[in-house]
Amino acid sequence: MIRRFLTVTVTLSSLALAQGSEGPAAEKKAAAEVTVDSPEAKAANELVQKYLTAVKAKKWADARKFLHPKTLESIAERKKRLGREDHPMAPWYHEKIDTWLKDFKLVGVTAGAEGTFIVEASEDNYQVEEKGLAEGEKGTYLVGKKAGKWYVVDKKRGETFTRSSIRLGYKGWFDEPAAEPAAEE
């Protein structure tokens, strides 16, 4: 009995001490997530603002104008293959069966790989099936330049894009960047 008590006490004590401790990896990540304040970052932020404003107003033709050409190809490919436009960047598909954007607030911009930017938003989404509002959901948007024009490329919900996921998953999607930031993953 005493042995169990001591084992539980030691285990819980070590867990309590381990919480909140951050090693070098957490420091590197925090340094890479610093909000960027450059003309390009502002352009990326403004683009996502315009895109989300069109999505909120359900102006799908306007929203499509902000999407990367390869994103539009990917949406079309999914529709051909699956019979539906089930893609994170196809809100016109999701508004009928899943969710639609009721309101949003842009939270920050960070530099990504290949000259891209990651724009984080806090979104209030109406849940169709639940008939209720999910407030403050994290939406992360990848923004990049192709042929000198900025485009919204992709979206992740509840997570973000990593430098390596951008390099590997979007190879050839962007203009060659002038200089790559020195931040490590």
Residues 48-65 have pLDDT tens digits of: 999 999 999 999 999 999
123-137 average pLDDT score: 83
What pLDDT does residue 86 have? 82
pLDDT band with cut points at 50, 70 and 90 for residue 2: low
- Helix, strand or coil for residue 110? strand
pLDDT of 151 over the 90 cut = yes
Mean pLDDT of the chain: 81
Other C-beta atoms closer than 10 Å to the C-beta of 43 total 14
- Helix, strand or coil for residue 71? helix
Domains defined along the chain, listed by start? 36-169 (3.10.450.100)
| DSSP-assigned letter for residue 180 | -
Q: Where are the alpha helices (DSSP H) in 35-153?
A: 39-56, 60-65, 69-82, 91-97
Phi/psi of residue 165, nearest 5 degrees: -65, -35
Query: 24, exposed or middle or buried, with CB in 10 Å at 0-12, 13-18, 19+?
Result: exposed
What pLDDT does residue 23 have? 40
- What is each CA distance from 184 to 28, 32, 33, in whole angstroms? 7, 7, 11
**Rounded-to-integer distance, Cα 105 and Cα 128, Å:** 21
pLDDT band with cut points at 50, 70 and 90 for residue 136: confident
In one-letter notation, the amino acid at residue 31 is A
What pLDDT does residue 70 have? 96
- Are the C-beta atoms of 78 and 71 separated by less than 8 Å? no
Summarised one tens digit per residue, pLDDT across range 163-174 is 999 999 999 999
pLDDT band with cut points at 50, 70 and 90 for residue 29: very low
Q: Which residue has the higher pLDDT, 161 or 134?
A: 161
116-134 average pLDDT score: 87
Q: Which residue has the higher pLDDT, 77 or 97?
A: 77
- Helix, strand or coil for residue 106? strand
DSSP H or E run through 31: helix 24-32
